[in-house]
Chains A and B, each alone.
Chain A
């Protein structure tokens, strides 16, 4: 049920992306009792892709990411991350993924460099701590206690702790929620640098502009009541109305796709399951 016929373009600044699938999700469902949170999610993220999941609070973004991170079970469907079912996480698998949680306090008594050094100790081939702190722009705060950092700095420390193991895949759950515009743009520059390192990144966000600025692919998880043709990502900047196209739909599935054109050029393909 993947939108296999839709085109994905590489960013001009990057090398051609590999086609190897790093994250593969088919028909993922998740229910809390009678409340169904995820219904038939399909997703494929290829190596070195940056993929954004956008949606309002309660849409199931964090549930989806936590299933991929190995924190949470699922009700149904097939999921693999780096070829491993995250429902059966192994120690070797965990050395290949880095996680930034939606919210996480730091042990306040340890310094920035001590915390990153502590996490480096968990991995077989960690990145140098100083280089990692430089990457996230915390070199000048390396001796500061974690409890004294601002919110934005704590988030960057969180990214450093996720990155120090030199993982292949990074999960960033709402990395800029609560930031002011300045802090948000600093965070964007960190994520851009991670993309330049060739990391496969899956991030969640509330902000459409963040997804558009950072991601190669965007997945919108919304309530069924929303009309896809009225969705901001389709209507914003569109010079022609989205037009439905069933050509990419696999047989037997209940979904259709829409395309957005701007300035005469094809911009986006939206695939809607129901």
Chain B
């Protein structure tokens, strides 16, 4: 699985310095969290990694290849599911394959293989409006996965879900991650979510955004999905809270 290196990225948007000299690294099969206040340019960062936006300076390397400002290597998943209401779940998930030029039948067959892994078995003919928020997010994640199966960029994917569904989805995501071992970058503004899911967390500041802190999380991903009981947890949580000035 690939390694993502973000090197001295800076970006000014509308006259406002949004990102100032960001350095990050997501190792092979790492689950990296990006934690920061709302509106601090986290999404801008993903726009740059996915190539939608060109940084003013700096580079993005995926597996040592410079992909700065080039789309097509990775896509990303957002808070909104952005499924097309006109297509059913299977058709929605197959979109990246069809855009890559696969014939429809083959694309559908390929997407169908992954349905059970993403908890969508039996729902392939349903339309997005017929499904719950959690299921829609899973379908959106399957679509992201089918575009680039080795890297998942997730931008607050569970932020619009209720607390119970959110926790279920987190546990489910850990399960999927353990099976396919992609390199994950996960944006969130929820400290507990970051500590629960990630191996490493970058804490970002407010505008202009810089990396305030880089923390290795030693107790990540408990299989059972319960509260982390490690005594170091609350201390680490406090350190992050302090960095966020909460």
Q: Do A and B come from the same complex? A: no
A residues apposed to B, CB below 8 Å = none
B residues apposed to A, CB below 8 Å = none
